[in-house]
Structure 1
Amino acid sequence: MSAPPVTELNTRARDIFRLVVEGYLTNGQPVGSKTLAGPKSEGGGGLNLSPASIRSVLAELEGLGLLAAPHTSAGRMPTETGLRLFVDGMMQVAEPSAEERRAIEDRLSARGPIEAALEATSALLSDISGAAGMVMVPRREPRLAQLTLVPLAPTRALAVLVGEDGGVENRVIDLDEPASASALEQAGNYITARLAGRSLAEAAAAMRAELSDGRSQLDAVSRDLVERGLAVWSEDAARRPVLIVRGAANLLDETALGDIERVRQLLDDLEKKQAVAELLESARTAEATRIFIGSENRLFALSGSSVIASPYRDREGRVVGVVGVIGPTRLNYARVVPMVDFTAQTLSKMRALGKIIG
């Protein structure tokens, strides 16, 4: 059911609807007419209306599909349709304070590899939202600038890959046969001279073609080193997780005890990392933060969860991944949305400044 435009609600209906939604998002409980009529000083809505008049408006909002009345309570809570109307047309976001901005920037400012930054980002989003933080790791395919093979032991070598983006990665290679320092140097020079500027997949394909055609002047040992030097990254990329989730335990708060089946379903959903990553992938093309509420996405239709997601960028301004938060539909959208957006902006800025490698 699509939500009616906010303009179709009169002032009284808008005020009552807003109070119900805000009360529900704050406490996670249905809001009754007596609460709405009570004085603000006691946590009520401070409406200058009788409970009977309020109940009449609540019934109208329920008829529009914006509110629902759980059978265990006389109060009302927003439906997914109502939440969408509130988020899109009525919510007043609470921009991060200067102190909160500094805290986010400090948390993400440490120099290091992209994996460490994404782990920190996911944990940060969990702390901010009180729910679970998620970061989709970019499917990286670095282009080669240089590869160096350094001897560690007779049958072990350290492969040092430098990408065109300035990223540096190290891998230890186990060798079937002992290799001399000169053989390692020859293999590294071969890759750097002939395959620089190509992605790992392109480099591996070109290398195999040259070796199989007999065009390479490398000896058998160096050929083996070249193959291993490239394969170690291809294998690593295949194993690389596409999603980092932190703070799932936050989903098991006091309010979850009465709805444990929904939480169990949500935790099951989070185990399907590929499916969750595909959902976040749909936010890559967004110009700003996207909000998915409940059954608007089939993946979370049963658990009735919401996802807030925002894309982040690399040094060239290209969208390379998505950061987000997942939790119950009663997330504090007004606070979490701008926090997720600012975190994505900060992660992009740190990458642009070269503080995050990869």
Structure 2
Amino acid sequence: MSEPIGQLTDRMREIFGQVVDRYIDSGAPVGSKVIAEKVNLSPASIRGVMQQLEERGLLTHPHTSAGRVPTEMGLRLFVDGIMQASLPQKRMRQRIEAEIEGRPVEEALRAATQTLSGLSECAGVVTAPTQEVRLKQLAFVQLDEGRALAVLVGDDGSVENRVVPIPPGTSSFALAEVGNYATQKLAGLTLSEASQRLRRDIAAHKDAVDHAAAELVAAGLADWSRDGDNRPVLIVRGQANLIDESAAADLERVRLLLEELEDRQEIARLLDGARDGEGVRIFIGSENRMFALSGSSVIAKPYRGVDGEVIGVIGVIGPTRLNYARVVPMVDFTAEALTRRMS
């Protein structure tokens, strides 16, 4: 835990803020002469204040002759007590909303993550809702004697097409009939529930539907349901953003981070820790065990569904020197935009 910001003098606070701002901007240690251009003090006086800040654990210097850089504890103090964040620019907000609007859920999540990644210049991550899709419409188009194209529409707007085998002699009328039956009688059920209901109706000889075609649909719905359960619940986009010009000086850290991003289960667990609470969660460096080696930060916020319950988390992963004042509002706005899309 860093000390309260109120324990710093106004001079210490001003110089500390200048060091952090310059470091975030350049990624390089910040010297007293650079700060003197912004603060009405001599370089010698600034060095004295920097030394005090270093003694408090807020700054450090990587080389004896170099300037200072903020420690993880210093970055935490900056984020919690000094940083001034504001709403993203209007064009950024419009871009985020335009990418999400009107898309099926999974496409919206991928687009939101890709857009957030590009705007923040970090890797974007999102956990997808785990609830099973509910059936809205089912239709078939016969391709030939033994195959048909099945088109399944979910109540979340998702559309999935599959080529399925059909029993010999199945007519296009029988396929249309069972598709209409599924749409009229099974809409609103999850795919596994729809499959079970259809099998019960077949066994009870309810409705005059072709039983061979109906059995095919029941099996197909069950397969779709199992496939949905096995889909990855984590989407990662924009890893290439982590390899920029500044990364050349710190290739080992970038290599470690890219390796850590391959562990999808650990990232999902980390994001799961951000599900509680209303606001944006910020994990800096070793504050989370997963990214302790690479010294990376995570900014994340949950988004909600129709009933107001948290259904996922979206965020970014990047170096600890990322521009928190710029990126935190982006993550916050994207999570809110997704909540509006899901509601």
- TM-score scaled by structure 2? 0.87
The structural deviation recorded for 1:182 is: 4.4
Task: Give me the identity figure in percent.
Answer: 54
2:170 counterpart of 1:170: no
Q: Secondary structure at the match of 1:245?
A: strand
**Partner Cα separation in structure 1 for residue 196 and residue 3 of structure 2:** 56
In structure 2, give the amino acid aligned to 1:56.
G
Per-residue Cα deviation, 1:160-188 (whole angstroms, up to 9, x for no partner): 3344x452523324216332234434544
Per-residue Cα deviation, 1:294-351 (whole angstroms, up to 9, x for no partner): 1111111111111111222334444322221111000000011111211222233344
Q: Secondary structure at the match of 1:71?
A: coil
Distance 1:265 1:220, change over 3 A: same
Match of 1:93 in 2: 85
- Matches of residues 231-246 of structure 1 in structure 2 within 5 Å? 231-246=222-237
Taking only aligned residues, the RMSD between alpha carbons, in angstroms, comes to 2.7
Match of 1:53 in 2: 45
**Partner Cα separation in structure 1 for residue 31 and residue 205 of structure 2:** 79
Match of 2:61 in 1: 69
2:306 counterpart of 1:307: no
Q: Which moved more, 1:72-81 or 1:5-14?
A: 72-81
Match of 1:39 in 2: 37
2:115 counterpart of 1:124: yes
Match of 1:221 in 2: 212
Per-residue Cα deviation, 1:220-278 (whole angstroms, up to 9, x for no partner): 62353133321342243144232222221121112111211110111111111222122
The structural deviation recorded for 1:85 is: 1.1
Distance 1:327 1:142, change over 3 A: same
**Partner Cα separation in structure 2 for residue 56 and residue 166 of structure 1:** 60
- Matches of residues 194-213 of structure 1 in structure 2 within 5 Å? 195-204=186-195, 210=200
In structure 1, give the amino acid aligned to 2:15.
I
- Matches of residues 1-358 of structure 1 in structure 2 within 5 Å? 2-36=1-35, 38-40=36-38, 46-48=39-41, 50-71=42-63, 73-109=65-101, 111-163=102-154, 165=155, 167-175=157-165, 177-178=167-168, 179-185=170-176, 187-188=178-179, 191=182, 195-204=186-195, 210=200, 214-215=203-204, 221-222=212-213, 224-352=215-343
**Partner Cα separation in structure 1 for residue 64 and residue 93 of structure 2:** 41
Per-residue Cα deviation, 1:65-109 (whole angstroms, up to 9, x for no partner): 211211365311111111111111111013222333233333434
Q: Secondary structure at the match of 2:28?
A: coil
Q: Which moved more, 1:236-245 or 1:125-134?
A: 236-245
**Partner Cα separation in structure 2 for residue 128 and residue 73 of structure 1:** 35
Q: Secondary structure at the match of 1:307?
A: strand
Q: Secondary structure at the match of 1:126?
A: helix
The structural deviation recorded for 1:121 is: 1.5
Q: Which moved more, 1:122-131 or 1:193-202?
A: 193-202
**Partner Cα separation in structure 1 for residue 117 and residue 159 of structure 2:** 28
Q: Which runs of 5+ in 2 are unaligned?
A: none
In structure 1, give the amino acid aligned to 2:320.
T
Distance 1:72 1:228, change over 3 A: farther
Distance 1:194 1:113, change over 3 A: closer
Distance 1:316 1:264, change over 3 A: same
Q: Secondary structure at the match of 2:232?
A: coil
In structure 2, give the amino acid aligned to 1:333.
Y
The structural deviation recorded for 1:189 is: 5.5
- TM-score scaled by structure 1? 0.84
**Partner Cα separation in structure 1 for residue 301 and residue 8 of structure 2:** 31
Match of 1:43 in 2: none
Q: Is the 8 A contact 1:184 1:225 kept in 2?
A: no
Residue correspondences, number:
340
Q: Secondary structure at the match of 2:3?
A: coil
In structure 2, give the amino acid aligned to 1:25.
I
